[in-house]
Structures are given as C-alpha cells and as structure tokens.
C-alpha cells in the first residue's frame, strides 16, 4: 500500500492528474492467487490494464496471458521476442490464450503463424478459423450463470450448454482440435455459486463429449471474475479459492490443466489516482468540486465498469456530502454525487485507491484533456 505522503510527493513532482501503479502490490496479488489456487495457471487478462510495465512485472512472476486483440498480443510478445524461434513458439502456445470468441479475419490470418490457442462460441467462428487460422488450437467458450456479477457477460458470449458438444464435434469434423472449455462467471463476481454451477456444467460437457466419442480435451479455463477487495462486503479471496479447489478436485482428474484469467483481482488494488481541485461551487445548497480527472479519463470505470471509486482528501477537517465533477464540458462527467469531504480549496489534491483495473485502460482524450500521467513505484 502506498502511503499518502508519497502520493502527495509524486503529484507535486509529476503534476496531476496522476495514475500511480504499485508493483509490490501486483506481485503480492499474483502470489496470493497462486498460493490459494495452486493447481490453477494464471493467465493475466491484459485488457484490465495493458500497461507494458505491468505485463513485464507479471511476466517475471511467471504469469501467462489472456489477450483479446493483436495490440495486446504484441505487448506480451515484446517480452519474449528475443527468445529463439522454437522456444518463442512453445512459449506462445503454453502461455498465451487469445480469449476473444469473435475475431476479425485479419486477426486470424495474423495469428495463424503463431499456432495460437483461441476461444470460439459459435459455428460461424469455426468456419472462419478453419479458413484463416487452421494452425490454431480451440477452446469452446461456454455460457454460464452470471448472477450477481458487477458486469454481466453471458448475454454477449458463450455457447449454450445444449449445443456445446455439437460445436465441438463440428470443429473436429472441420479438422480442428478443441483443447478444452472456458467460461466467465461475470466481472467482480461475489456470488461464489456462479463458479460451482459453471464447473458443474463444464464437467457435464466433458462427459457428453466423451460419450459421443471426442476425447481430445485436456484443459478447463475458469475465466475471470475474481473480486477485488473494493470494500468490506467482498469476502476474502481464500474463501472463494476454497470453493473452487473443492469443485475442481471433485470434478476433474489431475491430467486436466486448469487455467484462469484474473484481471481486476491482480491490478485493482495496485492503482491510485491523484488529482487536484480546479474549481468549486455551491449548487442547491451542496458543495461541488471540479477536479482535473474524470469519467473520460481515470474514472472511466464509473461509466464502463459500473464501479465506484471513493474520493478521499489529504486535508483533515469536518466533512460534508459533496459532488465531484470531472474537467470536461459534458454533463455525463460526474465522478460522484455523494462524497464525504472536508472544505477544499483550489489546488488541493484528492485521491482514490483500488482504481488499477478498467480505469486508465479505457481513458480517452475527449474534449482535449489527455489521460493522467502514469508513474510506477516499486518496480
């Protein structure tokens, strides 16, 4: 955890808005995941925060990677480009999964040279992969319950369980190899039963496929959704890990490889946003502060990720409920309508914790305001 005096010091040195990434926290989160889920290989979901320095730190820790675009693929590839060709190819096969179920033809053609592992969830994708990336290995993305997740994904992705084996057999008939099954229980899932149900469905698909003569699957990708500790309502990760371990051991023999795609869990608590007050007003009897960061920038998760990031002040004093707005001219640029803050003055710094995931990653240049400056500590 970064101490408040250091955040202030960094803001004074580098200016604001500032996005600070604590690499000690990244390493701690990665090691915690491996400790409590020892059978599960970590494939960091690069989309959660694609900063190359984060990828390098997790690469050094031993992480594999889940990518969903060619730019993400190339960020990871930068870490291994100096390896001999054969070793590089083996690494890509074992350490990268292209986990976007629907891919442009151009992407498939570019990926094909790497003999990648890719996900799919529909019959049309089988035809595309067969024609444009025949060297790929396939993983079927299964539709599973997303009950209670902060971000629901099953309405957009996933093959219905009832047609899953038909898709596996269709891919086999096309001369492709389906290596296993993946699923995603929804982002920031605090309902642990989602994993129980998803693993049970997956085991059922494995059995049906074997009963119908397909025996080539050897992996299960349990996706992401592992909740970040945003507040005290989020149960400890070790409790979720215990549930997952029990089901995995019950349902899948040791020869089945287990993958996971944590993103938010690894990077959320490693990120801090520091901004400053650029204006203040009283509207409807309530104090309103305008800061030089907002929902088009580091606080983009307020819109895109359904997430709240409490604004905290470095200054002490009696607090009252205030509104906090971003710097753009858009009325949508509302960071919060209810923050407990002391009386702040122009140029006072404020900050938010646990903002490392899906924040700076989706920042824009809207209205001419650039994203926050990124600073790395404890690299």
131 and 200, same structural domain? yes
**What does the alpha-carbon distance between residue 9 and residue 349 come to, in Å, rounded to a whole number?**
11
- Identify whether residues 258 and 287 lie together within a single domain: no
The verdict on 36 and 150 lying in the same domain is: yes
Q: Tokens 């971003």 label which residue?
A: 326
Same domain, 351 and 293: yes
CB-count exposure of residue 237 (10 Å: 0-12, 13-18, 19+): buried
DSSP code for 143: P
Number of domains in the chain: 2
Inter-residue contact 18 to 275 (CB < 8 Å): yes
pLDDT of residue 176: 97
329 counts as catalytic: yes
Would the pTM of this model clear 0.75, i.e. be above it?
yes
Beta strands in the chain (DSSP E): 18-22, 40-45, 64-67, 96-98, 117-120, 137-142, 177-183, 219-221, 257-260, 271-283, 286-291, 312-313, 319-325, 334-342, 349-352, 373-377
* pLDDT tens digits, one per residue of 194-232: 999 999 999 999 999 999 999 999 999 999 989 999 988
Same domain assignment for residues 95 and 222? yes
- Angstrom CA distances, 185 to 156, 191, 236, stand at 12, 9, 18
Q: Are 18 and 273 in contact (CB under 8 A)?
A: yes
Q: Are 242 and 25 in contact (CB under 8 A)?
A: no
Cα separation, 210 vs 205, in Å, equals 9
User: 335 and 256 in one domain?
Assistant: no
The Cβ of residue 231 has, within 10 Å, a number of other Cβ atoms equal to 9
Reported in sequence order, the residue ranges of 184-270 that DSSP labels E, i.e. its strands, are 219-221, 257-260
CA distance 4 to 132: 52
3-class SS of residue 179: strand
Per-residue pLDDT of the chain (379 residues; tens, 9 = 90+): 899 999 999 999 999 999 999 999 999 999 999 999 999 999 999 999 999 999 999 999 999 999 999 999 999 998 887 778 888 887 887 899 999 999 999 999 999 999 999 999 999 999 999 999 999 999 999 998 777 656 656 777 899 999 999 999 999 999 999 999 999 987 788 788 899 999 999 999 999 999 999 999 999 999 998 999 998 888 999 999 999 999 999 999 999 999 999 999 999 999 999 999 999 999 999 999 999 999 999 999 999 888 999 999 999 999 999 999 999 999 999 999 999 999 999 999 999 999 999 999 999 999 999 999 999 999 9
Domain of 126, CATH number, reads: 3.20.20.10
Give the Cα separation of 242 and 238 in Å (integer).
Answer: 6
* Confidence (pLDDT) at 187: 75
Same domain flag for 182 and 67: yes
* Catalytic residue (choose from 288, 307, 322, 329): 329
Instruction: Please state, in angstroms and rounded to a whole number, the distance separating the CA atoms of residues 327 and 309.
Output: 17
Are residue 181 and residue 314 in the same domain, yes or no? no
Query: Residue 350 sits in which domain range?
Result: 4-19+269-377
Q: Are 324 and 360 in contact (CB under 8 A)?
A: no
Torsion region of 354: left, alpha or beta (phi above 0 gives left; psi -120 to 50 gives alpha): left
pLDDT of 148 reads 65
Residues 61 and 200 in one domain: yes
CA nearest neighbour of 268 among 36, 15, 33: 33
Choose the final residue of a domain: 266, 290, 320: 266
Whether 333 contacts 296, CB under 8 Å:
yes
pLDDT at 153: 64
Same domain (yes/no): 187, 309: no
Q: Which of 243, 266, 289 is the last residue of a domain?
A: 266
Question: 35, exposed or middle or buried, with CB in 10 Å at 0-12, 13-18, 19+?
Answer: exposed
**355 and 314 both lie in a single domain:** yes
- CATH number of the domain encompassing residue 333: 2.40.37.10
Among residues 13, 16, 3, the alpha carbon closest in space to that of 274 is found at 16
Preceding amide of 149 cis, omega within 30:
no
Burial label for 71, CB within 10 Å (0-12, 13-18, 19+), is exposed
Residues 246 and 294 in one domain: no
pLDDT at 321: 97
Determine the distance from the C-alpha atom of residue 113 to the mean position of all C-alpha atoms in its chain, rounded to a whole number.
26
266, 296, 331 - which closes a domain:
266
């Amino acid at each position: 955890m970064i101490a408040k005096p250091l955040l202030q010091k960094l803001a004074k040195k580098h200016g604001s808005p500032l996005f600070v990434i604590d690499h000690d926290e990244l390493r701690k989160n990665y090691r915690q995941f491996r400790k409590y889920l020892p059978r599960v290989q970590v494939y960091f979901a690069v989309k959660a925060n694609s900063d190359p320095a984060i990828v390098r730190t997790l690469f050094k820790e031993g992480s594999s990677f889940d990518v969903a675009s060619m730019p993400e693929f190339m960020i990871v590839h930068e870490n291994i480009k100096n390896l001999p060709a054969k070793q590089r190819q083996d690494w890509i096969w074992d350490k990268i999964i292209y986990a976007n179920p629907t891919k442009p033809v151009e992407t498939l053609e570019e990926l094909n040279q790497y003999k990648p592992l890719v996900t799919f969830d529909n019959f049309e994708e089988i035809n595309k992969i067969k024609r444009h990336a025949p060297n790929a290995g396939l993983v079927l993305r299964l539709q599973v319950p997303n009950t209670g997740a902060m971000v629901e994904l099953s309405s957009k992705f996933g093959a219905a369980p009832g047609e899953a084996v038909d898709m596996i057999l269709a891919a086999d008939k096309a001369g492709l190899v389906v290596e296993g099954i993946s699923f995603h229980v929804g982002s920031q899932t605090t309902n642990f039963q989602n994993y129980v149900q998803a693993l049970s469905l997956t085991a059922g698909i494995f059995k049906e496929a074997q009963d119908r003569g397909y025996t080539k699957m050897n992996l299960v990708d349990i996706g992401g959704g592992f909740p970040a500790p945003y507040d005290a309502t989020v149960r400890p990760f070790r409790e979720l890990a215990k549930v997952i371990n029990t089901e995995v051991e019950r349902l899948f023999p040791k020869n089945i490889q287990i993958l996971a795609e944590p993103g938010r869990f690894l990077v959320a608590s490693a990120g801090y946003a520091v901004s400053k007050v650029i204006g203040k007003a009283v509207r409807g009897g309530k104090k309103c502060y305008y800061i030089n960061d907002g929902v088009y920038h580091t606080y983009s998760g307020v819109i895109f990720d359904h997430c709240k990031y409490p604004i905290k002040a470095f200054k002490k004093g009696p607090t009252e409920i205030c509104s906090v707005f971003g710097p753009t001219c858009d009325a949508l640029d509302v960071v919060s309508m209810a923050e407990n803050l002391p009386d702040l003055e122009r140029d006072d710094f404020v900050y938010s914790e646990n903002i490392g995931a899906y924040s700076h990653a989706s920042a824009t240049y809207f209205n001419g305001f650039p994203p926050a400056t990124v600073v790395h500590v404890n690299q």
